[in-house]
Amino acid sequence: MSKHVFITGGSGFIGTRLCELLLEQNHNITILSRDPEPLRQRWNNKIDVINALSELTALTPPDWVINLAGEPIADRPWTQQRKASLIKSRVTLTQTLFDTLNQLTTPPEVIISGSAIGYYDDTGNSVFTESSQQGKGFAAELCRDWEQAAVSNKPNSSRLCLLRTGVVLGKQGGMLKKVSLPFKLGLGGQLGNGKQWFSWIDLDDICQLILFLANNKTCQGAYNATSPNPVTNHDFTKTLGKKLHRPTVATVPAFILKTALGDAASLLLGSQRILPMRAIEAGFEFAYPDITSCLQHCCKK
């Protein structure tokens, strides 16, 4: 049955792929964008685009709402100005979104709202699941407030799923797009000592997980959007080097990352060994559960 799906962050890395899959299933899509016309042309008017949340109240109420908005968090130092911008793009936007949803004549069936595994902070070698405690520091507090903005303002009759996303791997963008050139030039290497755990998920798997959560009426609460097989940064580096047929002898020392990114370097040097226990228990099956199959998928021509 066709659904009306409203997406924030619909023009981003995850959102673009998700829109493709939703169109294949004949759903009707509306996305939020500050620059609507290029997106309408890009999608050949197959999706609707609004540039303000206030416009949502004039549309047919959405059946599903998928909140993926949020500026990249690890690309610049966390200055006070940068922190304020990250909070605005996540917490403030989510608050405004949910305020708008509460004004609709018919609340959405399900809301899937973004978060991240930064919620847990640095887990060392310990395995963390959705039942594990929240960590400390800016990233953990940001994720907590981001989730709370959704939980506190949820329409009473809507089902809410919180998506704690790991590093998303796909050939169209994200981390792999940033690191592919250095690797192809033979300059790829591990970060710091390489022992830190790296929790990742294939782009198609996270999109399929979103669809799974939307379609399964028993699913609600927090879900880790990560592969069931996290790897160390060292093993990820070696596997990617093999897939690209390039050496991985270079190493990026921790002090260089800390100098360049300040506190934000913790996202690259910290260890996160996160498992998607609730998704597995709900019956979700990963198409690319291990790093070898994922990179084979991402790196194919």
In a domain, 78, yes or no: yes
Q: Is residue 128 part of a domain?
A: yes
The total domain count for the chain is 1
Q: What is the CATH number of the domain that holds 166?
A: 3.40.50.720
pLDDT tens digit sequence for 197-238? 999 999 999 999 999 999 999 999 999 999 999 999 999 888
205 in any annotated domain: yes
pLDDT of residue 60: 94
Report if residue 182 sits inside a domain: no
pLDDT tens-place string over residues 11-40: 999 999 999 999 999 999 999 998 899 999
Sequence-separated (6 or more) residues with CB below 8 Å from residue 70: 9, 86, 89, 90, 93, 114, 146
pLDDT of residue 85: 95
Within a domain: 137: yes
Domain residues for the domain of 147 are 4-170+199-230+272-288
Residue 82 pLDDT exceeds 70: yes
User: Nearest to residue 39, comparing CAs of 27, 53, 51, 24?
Assistant: 51
pTM summary value: 0.94
For the cut 80, the answer to whether the pLDDT of residue 142 exceeds it is yes
pLDDT of residue 292: 95
Cα distance between residue 274 and residue 174, in whole Å: 19
Asked whether residue 187 is assigned to any structural domain, the reply reads no
Say which residue the tokens 């019956």 belong to: 283
Residue 71 predicted with pLDDT over 80:
yes
Contact 11, 70 (CB under 8 A): no
Task: Look at residue 267 and tell me whether its pLDDT is greater than 70.
Answer: no
Is residue 71 a part of any domain in this protein?
A: yes
In a domain? residue 19: yes
